[in-house]
Amino acid sequence: MNVIDKCWRGNPLWRSHRQQLAKCSVGFVGKMTNNIGKDVVKYKVIDPSDDPLNLKQGTLRYGTTMIKGNRQSMDHLQKQHANHVAEATSRSVDVHITGSGCLMVYHATDIIIHGLRIHHCKSQPPSTVMGPDSKVIHLGQMDGDAIRLVTARKVWIDHNTLYECQDGLLDVTRGSTDVTVSNNWFRNQDKVMLLGHDDGHLRDRNMKVIVIFNHFGPNCNQRIPRVRHGYAHEANDFYQGWEQYAIGGSMSPSIKSEANFFVAPNADNKEVTWRKGG
């Protein structure tokens, strides 16, 4: 086991003390201690139905409206629009998030996404959803990413399986920072991970992301990740081949690659890195 898993799974009673996971994060996210304690509100999703505007108790969307101003742990997730402190975990249940929209963390902080399977996410036109305090939130076009961070901070994405989405598997965008991506399995995807919104979004110069202990492949093509503007640390990741390139950058990012294991494809293109401009 790596240092993260030893921290929480080293305890033989870890299933009864799952909140201790929050003390085991590494990297820029720091320790997620705001996600543990007696005042954390637990919410269990028991209803698989989904209506973005007419919320029903027991559904996942109803739980997301409770987050603002509180600390919350949400079990058995299917879809989410998250604000402020939350932990989205599967609690030993095989939980799948799929379909339109999938998972977006919007203007949020102190978020843990753990133990989920997110796949076959599809694009979605502009829409409205009900947010905290019964406020209607207008969302733009959703490209079909598995996980999308928008102006989010202190987000830990750990032990998830992501694959076969219309656009990408993880986007960290629009000023999001202090993100740790660890112990995930990314597979069967063209564009895997984008760190930095676009060439003109200069706020992403402050972005800091660590990508550690992940498995990429089989059948990952490119952007593993692609970094714009900010800083990314790639460490102890396993790359099971690629088609175009593994790690790429543009708009003068800083990328540190450390102790990664690259298995080059059998095809002629064995180039690990790709660079555009400065």
Rounded to an integer, what distance in angstroms lies between the CA atom of residue 191 and that of residue 63?
A: 31
The answer to whether residues 29 and 211 touch, using CB atoms and an 8 Å cutoff, is no
Q: Kindly report the CA angle at 7 between 246 and 92, in degrees rounded to 5?
A: 80
Q: Is the peptide bond before 126 cis (omega within 30 degrees of 0)?
A: no
Total Cβ atoms within 10 A of residue 276: 11
- Strand pairing of 247-250 and 273-276? parallel
Rounded to an integer, what distance in angstroms lies between the CA atom of residue 25 and that of residue 148?
A: 20
> Any catalytic annotation for residue 223?
yes
Total Cβ atoms within 10 A of residue 190: 17
Helix (H) or strand (E) holding 128: strand 127-130
Cα separations in angstroms, 213 against 1, 33, 49, 258, 261: 10, 22, 34, 11, 10
The answer to whether residues 67 and 85 touch, using CB atoms and an 8 Å cutoff, is yes
Closest CA to 121 of 143, 140, 91, 151: 143
Q: Which of 18, 148, 153, 223 is catalytic?
A: 223
DSSP string spanning 209-229? EEEES-EE-SSEEE-TTEEES
The answer to whether residues 199 and 251 touch, using CB atoms and an 8 Å cutoff, is yes
Active site residues: 223
